[in-house]
């Protein structure tokens, strides 16, 4: 079953090099980064909070990229998305090297070995799932040319992940002159923005990959590669907007339930994820806020619907959320699961608040010292990492 990651527990790191000192520039990469960051933070995709999407453009050194990936890997507990666009090279051991602004062809030590990033995902990541998207050349004989075989996908794959890699055979196929985006990323953006006509309700990576293959092949571009590890293909990058109602519709309660794929409360792990999924319920229902109010038989006003969906803290009671979900047409059995998630999140918040209240008290006691003597803060009492 496909699943949308919880935005509050997921992170994305978008890396790209558009300006090079020794290689051909790729100006479209800068557009890739901006568009993809906006998309991942917006309603058409994962709806990640903007602060959870890190963009590393034209990194001066390899450790800048690795550090950004390591931080995101430490913060994400649901899904970590890693994207790279730029030139790709291979070293003498046929290992992938991501080109940075100072990278020189034939001097792979000036680039970023992909294996450095891969090791962070393998050893340091707390995320349950990884999505790795590579839009780069993999040249063996000449700059801008790569084998269409499975080498790139095989060496870049990470357990518990889905790898999607562009197979750019020429520089033109990678970034057609005059185009806003590179060929591969442009097709990916189109898919997430417009959806897949006749496709599944959720744009899982398996469906996105197959659609990109058909699209890029029809355009005369090299087809992408993919590798799935531990059902990573079921991770969705958004809803299929080609299958959602174009305009709000008024339907009966029975029709509203239908065969629609409602947001799965079991995938919710954070308060942010709770409210984003709650808003998705109305999108799937095809109802306006006013229509939701009308269908609630007076239990919730249109204004209350808006206030509920724009909250950042959990409501103290379940009444309003229950009325909202019921009016949208969510089946009763799923509403029970929603309530359980709400209860679990409230319990977690209460536990964190209790711990937070204990820390100042403990700190005050330790600061006073035995006999009540207070010591001034000095370098000897600072943490070693300060």
Q: What is the pLDDT along the chain (386 residues), one digit of tens a residue?
A: 788 999 999 999 999 999 999 988 999 999 999 999 999 999 899 999 999 999 999 999 999 999 999 999 999 999 999 999 998 887 777 778 899 999 988 787 899 998 899 899 988 899 999 999 999 875 322 222 223 344 455 545 555 578 888 864 444 446 677 789 999 999 999 999 999 999 999 999 999 999 999 999 999 887 888 888 767 788 999 999 887 655 444 444 444 444 678 999 999 999 999 999 999 999 889 899 999 999 998 999 999 999 999 998 999 999 999 999 999 999 999 999 999 999 999 999 888 888 776 666 555 555 555 444 443 433 333 333 43
For residues 349 and 279, give the distance between their C-alpha atoms in angstroms, rounded to a whole number. Answer: 21
Q: Which of 38, 348, 299 is nearest to 189 (CA)?
A: 38
For residues 69 and 80, give the distance between their C-alpha atoms in angstroms, rounded to a whole number. Answer: 9
Q: Which of 307, 331, 332 is nearest to 320 (CA)?
A: 307
pTM of the model: 0.79
How big is the CA angle at 135 (ends 133 and 139), to the nearest 5 degrees?
125
For residues 288 and 126, give the distance between their C-alpha atoms in angstroms, rounded to a whole number. Answer: 38
Would you give the end-to-end CA distance of the chain in angstroms? Answer: 46
Taking the CA atoms of the chain, what radius of gyration do you get in angstroms?
24
Taking phi over 0 as left and psi of -120 to 50 as alpha, with beta for the rest, 297 belongs to left
């Amino acid at each position: 079953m496909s699943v949308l990651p919880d935005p509050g527990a997921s992170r994305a790191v978008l890396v790209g090099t558009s300006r090079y000192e020794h290689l051909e520039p790729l100006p479209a990469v800068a557009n890739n980064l901006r568009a993809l960051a906006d998309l991942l933070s917006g309603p058409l995709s994962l709806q990640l909070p903007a602060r959870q999407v890190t963009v590393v453009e034209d990194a001066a050194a390899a450790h800048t990229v690795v550090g950004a990936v390591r931080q995101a890997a430490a913060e994400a507990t649901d899904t970590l998305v890693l994207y790279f666009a730029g030139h790709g090279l291979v070293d003498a051991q046929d290992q992938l090297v991501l080109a940075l602004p100072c990278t020189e062809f034939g001097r792979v030590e000036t680039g970023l070995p992909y294996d450095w990033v891969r090791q962070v995902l393998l050893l340091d990541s707390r995320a349950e799932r990884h999505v790795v998207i590579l839009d780069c050349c993999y040249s063996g004989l000449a700059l801008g040319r790569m084998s269409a075989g499975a080498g790139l996908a095989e060496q870049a794959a990470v357990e518990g992940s889905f790898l999607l890699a562009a197979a750019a055979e020429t520089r033109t196929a990678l970034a057609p002159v005059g185009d806003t985006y590179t060929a591969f990323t442009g097709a990916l953006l189109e898919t997430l923005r417009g959806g897949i006509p006749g496709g599944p309700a959720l744009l899982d990576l398996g469906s996105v990959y197959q659609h990109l293959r058909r699209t890029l092949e029809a355009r005369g571009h090299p087809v992408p590669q993919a590798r799935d590890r531990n059902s990573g293909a079921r991770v969705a990058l958004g809803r299929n907007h080609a299958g959602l109602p174009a305009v709000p519709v008024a339907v009966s309660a029975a029709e509203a339930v239908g065969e629609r794929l409602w947001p799965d409360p079991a995938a919710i792990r954070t308060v942010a994820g709770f409210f984003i999924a709650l808003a998705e319920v109305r999108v799937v229902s095809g109802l306006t806020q006013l229509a939701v109010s009308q269908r609630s038989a007076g239990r919730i006003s249109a204004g209350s619907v808006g206030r509920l969906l724009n909250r950042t803290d959990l409501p103290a009671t379940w009444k309003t959320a229950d009325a909202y979900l019921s009016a949208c047409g969510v089946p009763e059995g799923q509403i029970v699961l929603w309530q359980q998630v709400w209860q679990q999140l409230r319990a977690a918040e209460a536990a964190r608040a209790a711990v937070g209240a204990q820390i100042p008290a403990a700190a005050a006691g330790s600061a006073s010292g035995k006999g009540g003597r207070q010591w001034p803060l000095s370098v000897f009492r600072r943490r070693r990492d300060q």
